Amino acid sequence: MEKIEKSGFLLVDKPPNLTSRKVIDKLKEKFSFEKIGHTGTLDPFATGLLVLAINKATRFVEYLQKEKKAYQALLELGKISFSYDIEMPVMYVHNLKVPRKEEVEKILSQFKGKQNQIPPEISAKRVKGRRAYEVFRKERKLLNLKPKEIEVYEIFLLDYDFPYLSLYTLVSSGTYIRALARDIGKALKTGAILKDLRRVSIGSLSISQAKSLKELLSLNKKELEDLIMPIDQALSFEPYFLSKKDAKRFLNGNKVFLSNKLSGLFKVYEKDKKTFLGIAKIASGCLYPLKVLK
């Protein structure tokens, strides 16, 4: 088994009917990794961008998890299910009024902005240490989950041919598109299930940069390593360059005093070598190491 030594992020176009964990398992059947994980799961029936963290990149997963995510979603109106998608048996809504395109567009526009969203009762959400879907599977019981604040940055109609409604949405981390479909169905008074879902971007990373799982499994070690994106290239923070002396302080986990008024998170580099060193927070004239790459 060929061992992958490079660290970084691998962009996969996940196929349908496969869990995110199964994608990793299939790659591990051919290649050996010191560490490998993903930066945000996709439901089994969903397709699209799945970003895998390879080796040292696993330490930086949290930053990609917090990025905005864009999806193309297909809703089917007039149906409901306990999971709000096609993964559980569906029920028909009778005697419904077919909404006009203008009504659909008006309702969709109302979902733009910050809002409280109740996660799907059948999800990986933890309640008292137990995942909601595990409780349902074992006890056939739905948990009452607390609303969580999310933000929909963009949402617009791509196509509408009743009962099918296709939309694009850019959302904050933690947003459930299944729950968004549920709420759109309620607002339209038709009910709705999520029939198809494709993730098209995470932060600055696009599905156009991804390779299919089948293609990745056909590669040798060198070919796969050539596709692994350097850690810093996948992160969207601004760069900050340190002198050799300050870079050494940073790598030792010590704060660096600055003479500027910058603030926020930055990618840190050594100025002379332009070597990526890690992630830092700048505040009150100091640079504080958060993640150091050694």
What Å distances lie between residue 180 and 3, 8, 150, 174, 253, CA to CA? 41, 32, 11, 12, 42
Would residue 25 show up in a list of annotated catalytic residues for this protein?
no
**Residue 21: its pLDDT value, please?**
93
- All domains of the chain, ordered by start, with CATH? 2-66+204-233 (3.30.2350.10), 69-202 (3.30.2350.10), 237-292 (2.30.130.10)
- Give the Cβ contact number of residue 197 at 10 Å: 22
**Residue 294: its pLDDT value, please?**
79
Per-position pLDDT tens, the chain of length 294: 889 999 999 999 999 999 999 999 999 999 999 999 999 889 899 999 999 999 999 999 999 999 999 999 999 999 999 889 998 889 999 989 999 999 999 999 999 999 999 988 765 666 656 665 655 565 455 566 789 999 999 999 999 999 999 999 999 999 999 999 999 999 999 999 999 999 999 999 999 999 999 999 999 999 999 999 999 999 999 999 999 999 999 999 999 999 888 999 999 999 988 899 999 999 999 999 999 997
**Residue 40: its pLDDT value, please?**
86
Cross-strand partners of 236: none
pTM of the model: 0.92
Placement of tokens 């989950």 in the chain: 145
The beta strand positions in 91-249, using DSSP E, are 91-92, 113-117, 126-127, 130-131, 148-161, 164-171, 192-202, 205-206, 211-212, 238-242
Distance CA 42, CA 58 (A): 18
**Residue 2: its pLDDT value, please?**
86
DSSP 294: -
Q: Say which of 43, 85, 183, 246 is annotated catalytic.
A: 43
**Residue 140: its pLDDT value, please?**
54
- Give the Cβ contact number of residue 234 at 10 Å: 25
